[in-house]
């Protein structure tokens, strides 16, 4: 398969890219890293990537940011940052990318455990993740050309554990290998409109 991985050089993305590269042709993309340039928060940038590069069998997004701060400190603008970047970025990726995919292709987004089990300081990130879960369920009903759209929702991963474990006391850590295998399962499977949770 020819697979585009947005965020393919990030903490999770680089492990998924390496794992999938043994059986597939991988093209990575990011704002400042990867084979191709894309900024999910800018729909013109998404369109530009697909106008110049298409024929993908799968597109995986493992990118997107939201502001973490105490609820009392989060401004309206802070919420809009996550909405513009991680939420609308991935919505626009589906909206635009589906037109450039091969028949039967799959689009897989990434959210996170905060949608279901939030911790303090994550009202913005939780809102964005939950919104994407609902979006994917609804959008999958209207995909044409046999395109599938799904989302992977990971818990705190091994490679981020040192940095973030104090925010997630008692939470289980997700093994990078198990997470990479989940993306493989999603892009190769038949499921559509599913939220694949991996929290341990
Ligand atoms: N790490 C975890 O434990 C964990 C757990 C659950 C969910 N998640 C979610 O999984 C996603 C990836 O996490 P990560 O830890 O791998 O993050 P990361 O290390 O910061 O990597 C993110 C990657 O996405 C790219 N990126 C960020 N914003 C982008 C944008 N607007 N347009 C295009 N590319 C963009 C970055 O590259 P450039 O800087 O070059 O753009 C980078 O390669 C995030 O949405 C995160 O919330 C992570």
- Structure confidence at residue 181 (pLDDT): 98
Question: Which residues make beta-bridge pairs with 161?
Answer: none
Ligand 1 centre distance from Cα of residue 101 (Å): 23
* Integer-rounded Cα radius of gyration of the chain: 16
Q: Tell me how far apart the alpha carbons of residues 85 and 81 are, in angstroms, rounded to a whole number.
A: 6
For residue 99, how far is its CA from the centre of ligand 1 (angstroms)? 24
How far apart CA 90 and CA 108 sit, in angstroms, is 9
Closest residue CA from atom 6 of ligand 1: 112
> Which ligand 1 atom is nearest residue 6's CA?
34
DSSP state of 85: I
Domain of residue 188, residue span: 2-198
* 113-171 confidence digits (pLDDT tens): 999 999 999 999 999 999 999 999 999 999 999 999 999 999 999 999 999 999 999 99
pLDDT of residue 34: 97
Helices (H) and strands (E) in the chain, counts: 7, 7
Residues within a 6 A CB radius of ligand 1: 6-7, 9-13, 30-33, 38-41, 62-65, 85-86, 89, 110, 112-113, 154, 156-157, 160
Which of 12, 16, 151 best tests ligand 1's pocket when mutated (most atoms within 8 Å of CB)?
A: 12
Specify the number of domains making up the chain: 1
Q: State in Å: Cα 165 to ligand 1 middle.
A: 17
pLDDT tens, residue by residue, 67-110? 999 999 999 999 999 999 999 999 999 999 999 999 999 999 99
Task: Tell me what pLDDT residue 12 has.
Answer: 98
How far apart, in Å, are the Cα atoms of 78 and each of 11, 27, 85, 108, 181? 23, 31, 11, 26, 34
Give the number of the atom of ligand 1 that is nearest the alpha carbon of residue 125: 47
CATH of the domain at 98: 3.40.50.720
Q: What average pLDDT does this structure show over 28-49?
A: 98
For 125-191, what is the HEC assignment?
HHHHHHHHHHHHHHHHHHCCCCCEEEEEEECCEHHHHHHHHHHCCCCCCECHHHHHHHHHHHHHCCC
The 10s digit of each residue's pLDDT in 169-195 is: 999 999 999 999 999 999 999 999 999
């Amino acid at each position: 398969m020819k697979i585009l991985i947005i965020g393919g050089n990030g903490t999770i993305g680089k492990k998924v890219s390496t794992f999938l590269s043994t059986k597939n042709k991988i093209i990575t993309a990011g704002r400042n890293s990867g084979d191709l340039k894309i900024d999910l928060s800018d729909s013109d940038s998404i369109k530009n990537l697909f106008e110049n590069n298409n024929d993908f069998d799968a597109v995986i997004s493992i990118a997107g940011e939201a502001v973490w701060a105490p609820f009392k400190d989060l401004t309206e603008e802070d919420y809009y940052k996550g909405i513009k970047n991680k939420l609308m970025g991935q919505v626009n990726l589906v909206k635009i990318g589906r037109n450039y995919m091969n028949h039967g292709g799959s689009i897989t987004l990434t959210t996170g455990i905060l949608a279901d089990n939030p911790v303090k300081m994550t009202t913005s990130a939780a809102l964005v993740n939950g919104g994407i879960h609902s979006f994917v369920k609804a959008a999958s009903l209207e995909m044409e050309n046999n395109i599938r759209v799904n989302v992977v929702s990971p818990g705190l991963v091994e490679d981020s554990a040192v940095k973030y474990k104090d925010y997630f006391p008692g939470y289980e850590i997700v093994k990078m290998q198990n997470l990479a295998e989940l993306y493989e399962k999603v892009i190769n499977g038949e499921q559509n409109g599913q939220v694949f949770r991996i929290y341990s």
